[in-house]
Structure 1
């Protein structure tokens, strides 16, 4: 078995995924949790595996791997960069306002409902694809904001985080921002989120008279990779440790949806 794993990892194309999930920053077992949960159709599981192994017939794949006569390898959407699977999954700018945002919001809706249930006593949970998050949920002890602009005394460029949770009695606020980057960008994205919202956290602490304000990045790889830091983020938010499986599933389905929409009938495994 170990020999087969080594052969897989040694492959220049298919072995990339194996190397990615064995990075020290990635929880390898959790990253494969979607395979063990058994709540995806077999066809979907196969399509996810083909995306992770980068054997989806993009223009660049068809030219370099299957050696088809593809003269122009530029992306059919943006027309600028080469069309490879990583570009479609999380690197094509025209897809950001619709496809990537839809995937992002699906993950965020799961988190928002879980926070509302845990900290504000909300009952019941809707499927994320049917759920419309209210901009504000508030009780005597807690307050939850969804994609809400935070008014500050001085201009702050980044003042619309995805979610803001305030625990009034503890005088604690969590600024939560979510992302589904390529696995190679996970650590960079985590650091960027923290730096992005530090000025806002300082303003909130002063204006709202908080004892503690924390920036909590919630980062999941666009192809399902689970960084070790995600577990710490969920723990700080006092959420169930296995909720990452729901977030992972939403991210993966969003990625599948994007690839299918871009490639259409060409998304067969070759």
Structure 2
């Protein structure tokens, strides 16, 4: 039975990951996520079930459209597989249904935002509002301990990022500020603070490395959500251990 749940977690993840690609690509462009049906962006052919099997269709088709042979973006299978493995990891690490669902919700928000930021460098308010409502319902059903932690996390996520945006004169975008506020509602004050500092750490390390290696040019705009994904997921999955390790070093 356990092995079936493990498999289900992964299959659910890659299936939703395929849908998250659609949301992340269409919503920022002002398009419907339902119509038109999935189609090749190059030749316009409507995709069939053989084209829409998450991850596996990309592999079987060699990363190309069956009709016009144009290349399919590698982003699609990366998001699908990434969501699948993260859903599976969330299940394997969870000690309760609440923790598992919390992980799935956080992964879902981050994967959608990752697609949107990589393609458009936008964090759409419509998607944030949807998840704000979803997270609120989740926190009403599953109370945090203490009860005020969710509200404190939301306020802290907003205030911390808003202050940095003010000091940096626009170096931090308004979408990032709102994203951390929404995530703070879900994960609480402690983890959202740690998640921000880890995001900044990963961004600095990878950014400096990119400049040295020539992958990133000076003053080139760089999407910040990939670093938020790394930082927040590290905080969510390993935050308590990292905080305990730090406290043991300093006290």
Q: TM-score, with normalisation over the residues of structure 2?
A: 0.29
Of structures 1 and 2, the one with the larger relative CO (CA 8 A, separation 6+) is 1
Kindly name which structure, 1 or 2, has the bigger radius of gyration based on alpha carbons: 1
Q: TM-score, with normalisation over the residues of structure 1?
A: 0.28
More helix by share: 2
More strand by share: 1
